[in-house]
Amino acid sequence: MRLTIERALPYNRRHLVKRENRKRAGADQVSELTTGRLSVYLRCLDHLAANGVRTVSSQSLAGQFRLNAAQIRKDLAWFGEFGVRGVGYSVVGLATHLRQILGVAEAINVAVIGAGNLGQALADYPGFPKHGFFPVALFDRASAKVGTTSRGGIPIFHVRRLSAVVRREAIRIAMIAVPAAAAQQAAGLAVDAGIRAILNFAPGSVAVPAGVKVKNVDLTISLEGLAFHLANTVHGPTT
């Protein structure tokens, strides 16, 4: 009997249980590099789906997007079996599973602490909602900003209302966009409000208790890395 890809892929209970068991067993062992690559795979699959592609092999996926086919198979193997040998993966089906693995199958509300230029730019960035992240509130101490909105219409609250708004809006992630001197206090307020995931754009790092995940994004360090490349690149002769 001829099977379609959708039927052949491991969507039945036995495979789901197997994948869930592997996920629980290996969650602490999966590196951020691996989860970062899963995000890349998801972007690629979404691009293929938007162009009407229904199935793709790891080799084809790697070739089209300059990835590594063996690495793709290895990364996916952490979470189960998703494809059919000799046929490949269901583009939509695999994208759905990656969203579940990455925890973005449902919308996630986000708070931005710091309503300066960077904070408001983050809150208004249109790319976040496209991927399931919805900035729903900005927080600041400046009386001139409190009670207003960003250009995109995100309301700005006084930071003392952080806990109440987090509860009301079911906010799960906080982005910190304050000066370095205020970053630790902002992180502490986020933790006290029940936030367990923080994206810190302030220079330096912040200390948080166990169970809270922080990712630091220092734009200056990235720019300095590019400057180093420019300063140390040997240029060929010009004509």
pTM of the model: 0.80
Whether residue 176 contacts residue 193, with contact meaning beta carbons closer than 8 Å, is answered with no
Listed by start position, the domains of the chain span 5-102, 108-224
The pLDDT of 64-90, averaged and rounded, is 90
Question: Which CATH number does 5-102 carry?
Answer: 1.10.10.10
Share of the chain above pLDDT 90, in %: 76
Under 8 Å CB-to-CB from 106, ≥6 apart: which residues?
132
Q: What is the CATH number of domain 108-224?
A: 3.40.50.720
Tell me the pLDDT tens digit for each residue of 94-113. Answer: 999 999 999 999 999 999 99
Distance between CA atoms of residues 200 and 203, nearest Å: 8
